[in-house]
Structure 1
Amino acid sequence: MATFFLVIIYLAFISLGLPDSLLGVAWPVMQLEYGAPLETAGLLFMTIAAGTIISSLASGTVIKRFGTGNVTFVSCLMTAGALLGFTFAPSLVWLIICAIPLGLGAGSVDAGLNNYVATHYKAHHMSWLHCFWGVGATLGPVIMAQFISGQNVWRHGYLAIAGIQFALVVILFCTLPLWDKVARKSNVTLSEEPEDSNSVFFVEDDKNVKPLQIRGVKLALTSFLFYCGVEATMGLWGSSFLVNVKELPVAVAAQWVSLYYAGITIGRFITGFITLKVSNRTLIRVGQITASVGAVLLLLPLPSSFSLVGFITIGLGLAPIFPCMLHETPARFGDKHSQTIMGYQMAVAYTGSMFMPPLLGFIASHSTIGIFPFFIVVFVTAMLLGSEKLNVLMKKKDFLRGENKNSTAI
């Protein structure tokens, strides 16, 4: 039953991934139909992200009151309804209205499921969980590309995704009684991690300490901010960059963006096996370096084929970063604060999604979308620097912990 329960969680993450990549892929066609400026996609993205931030911050209270199963069901229902609204939206105003429940539907379930898996399952389950998000994010552009390449009917693409989402809603509704039952019977404990990630990084002695006062939390939040800045910017503006700068057809650009998400998906599937032997900290560092290489490929004046390699390389590099950082949360900061800090991390992550892609869109509308690769390089570098500063702090704490143990032994 526990395995079946995990499958349901995986399905929920497919539903989270399906809508995430649609707007960026469809926007070149949507922009023409609505006669909207380029940066309008950034406004829609900000609206979605704002809803997600609000629901992420409230996730601890909401999940505690209604339960993870009910919150997951309602959240998926909200996103399905919002996608259906996108299908029939007669104007940009209606798109913005539908973007609100689309964002609200993602936050609470995202934070709740991430904390549950980080607390009760081993690291490879976290990687595979986000691999299933990648399945949804990869299928989205593929499905949309099929409709765009036919008669440029982006609305039918949204309708197809909404249909899939409603099917998942039905599955979640039928399995609602299992959530509490499985949770009560679950005896799984926090996983044992290889190397240096199996011990609590830092726990304050003061019982009244606030989560944000725990050393290292702000550095962790910085890494989440720039990670989602990179991931969301790639998804939202990658297609526009390929169409307007590399002069690729819209359908081909959509397929290339889907390969970027495929890189994330395949990378997380492989990462699930690697976590059995390699620590989260090492995987995060290797992923950030790999993403940096892909970003440089986009920045250099190379043929279009190198852009495809760059998209896939960035996807593969991003693959282990997010799930490994999430899984480190209880180990770094303790179970007591993990749900609250997880909510903060998701909120800050979506803050990156909310502001960084629109910032690029605003600047690009007054210059050129050709600045896209430069922004990706800057975001990846900032994420790497924040993560490495956190690693330095962790090593200091590990050293002090060892010194304290030796003093006690003497």
Structure 2
Amino acid sequence: MATWFLLIIYLAFVSLGLPDSLLGSAWPVMWQDLGTSMGAAGVVSMTIAAGTIVSSLASGAIVRRLGTGKVTLISCALTAGALLGFSISPSMLWLIIFAIPLGLGGGSVDAALNHYVAENYKAHHMNWLHCFWGVGATMGPIVMSGYLRDNGFWRGGYVAVSIVQFSLVVILFVTLPLWKRVAAKRKDERLKMNETSNLPERESIDSPPTKINILQIKGVKPTLIAFLFYCGVEMTIGLWGASYLVGPRGISAESAARWISLYYAGITLGRLITGFIALEVSNRVLIRYGQIITIVGAIILLLPLPGTFSLIGIILIGLGLAPIYPGLLHETPARFGRDNSAKLMGYQMAVAYTGTTLLPPLFGLLASQISLSLFPIVVFVFLALMLISVEKVNRTLNKLVKGNSL
């Protein structure tokens, strides 16, 4: 039952990825139809991000009160309604209004599902979960492009994705009792395994008291910094990578766009492959090797090599990033205790979205004032800071584990 139930969770993550890429693919037609400016997309995007951050921070308390199943159901209903609202919006003001529930729903379901999978399933499922987000993010523009070919009918694209979301709401409603049943079954299995093995469930530190301030737990702050720079560098490359390849590197716009799409494909495919590797290799090892690969890719970007090597560097960074985010998420209960994982998962999501929202525009401002040639330097710095933060967490937890064993 637990394995088949995963299909519902995967579907929920596909639906989470679907809306993320709709606005960008439809905006060239939307802004003219709504009589607004091309730059107004930033206002909508920031409104969605703000709602996501708020709901992520509150998700721990909400999940404890309502449970993951109800939170996922309500969140998907919010996003479905918001997308339908986008399709009938007569003006920019209404887009901003509907962007609020879209962000609130997206942040809640993201944190809730990540927490549920980290608690009840093994590491390879977390990698595949985020692979399915990539499937949804890839399908969004494909659906929208089909409607844009029909006289630029972007509203139809939003209606189609909204119907998909409402269909998922029905499925989630019917299967609502399964969430607690599967969680209880997995808990019983863990207890039986611990009794027969006489070993702790995972190599982890003792769970700190639930009343403690989450930020006071050792290792939490550098973990949050790692999430900030992970999402910052992932989005910075996605947003500015093509501009760097076309500008300073002199590659054609068509080729640059193709290679940036391969960068995202590398992340998605990398998570699919990592899911199988995680059956035999620990999260910590996968995260470390992923970071090494990203650093190698960044060094290739930094070196004064022909333009093709810049493309190779970006692809390597995408492959290296693949196991880091799901691996860090899955380690949350083991590293910081199950009693704290729901709340901390929300914090991690909030900081991750903050990195996505703030760091790419900051680089854009820096590039406009100085030069796009700073792109590989900034990417390397972001990756280095992420590496330092993750390794600091590892050292801190190693000391705690040794201290507890004495």
- How would you bin the TM-score normalised by the shorter chain? 0.7 to 0.9
Classify the secondary structure of the residue corresponding to 1:198: coil
In 2, distance between residues paired with 1:203 and 1:241? Answer: 46
Report the CA distance between 1:351 and its aligned residue.
1.6
**Where in structure 2 are the equivalents of 1:65-144 lying within 5 Å?**
65-144=65-144
Aligned to 1:248: 253
Deviations 1:333-368 (A, max 9, x none): 111211121121111111212222332344456666
Q: Which runs of 5+ in 2 are unaligned?
A: 195-199
In 1, distance between residues paired with 2:165 and 2:71? Answer: 15
Change in 2 beyond 3 A, CA 1:87/1:9: same
Aligned to 1:224: 227
Report the CA distance between 1:11 and its aligned residue.
0.8
In 2, distance between residues paired with 1:159 and 1:364? Answer: 37
User: Are 2:302 and 1:289 aligned?
Assistant: no
Classify the secondary structure of the residue corresponding to 1:201: coil
Q: Which runs of 5+ in 1 are unaligned?
A: 405-410
Report the CA distance between 1:175 and its aligned residue.
2.5
User: Are 2:276 and 1:278 aligned?
Assistant: no
Structure 2 residue aligned with 1:199, among 198, 203, 208? 203
Q: Which one-letter code corresponds to 1:98 in the other structure?
A: F
In 2, distance between residues paired with 1:300 and 1:20? Answer: 33
User: Are 2:330 and 1:327 aligned?
Assistant: yes
Q: Which one-letter code corresponds to 2:3 in the other structure?
A: T
Deviations 1:349-400 (A, max 9, x none): 1121222233234445666666554443332222112112222223333443
In 1, distance between residues paired with 2:95 and 2:169? Answer: 22
Identity of aligned residues (%): 59
Change in 2 beyond 3 A, CA 1:395/1:176: closer
Give the TM-score normalised by the residue count of structure 1: 0.82
Change in 2 beyond 3 A, CA 1:317/1:36: farther
Aligned to 1:47: 47
Change in 2 beyond 3 A, CA 1:365/1:161: farther
Aligned to 1:407: none
8 A contact 2:242–2:257 mirrored in 1: yes
Give the CA RMSD over aligned residues. 3.4
In 1, distance between residues paired with 2:152 and 2:77? Answer: 27
* Alignment length (residue pairs): 396
8 A contact 2:210–2:339 mirrored in 1: no
Give the TM-score normalised by the residue count of structure 2: 0.83
Q: Which one-letter code corresponds to 1:117 in the other structure?
A: V
Report the CA distance between 1:219 and its aligned residue.
0.8
8 A contact 1:124–1:271 mirrored in 2: yes
Report the CA distance between 1:19 and its aligned residue.
2.1
User: Are 2:158 and 1:162 aligned?
Assistant: no
In 1, distance between residues paired with 2:328 and 2:27? Answer: 31
In 1, distance between residues paired with 2:97 and 2:246? Answer: 28
Which deviates more, 66-75 or 304-313? 304-313
Aligned to 1:408: none
User: Are 2:346 and 1:348 aligned?
Assistant: no
Classify the secondary structure of the residue corresponding to 2:204: coil
In 2, distance between residues paired with 1:308 and 1:264? Answer: 15
Change in 2 beyond 3 A, CA 1:156/1:212: same
8 A contact 1:25–1:239 mirrored in 2: no
Classify the secondary structure of the residue corresponding to 1:58: helix
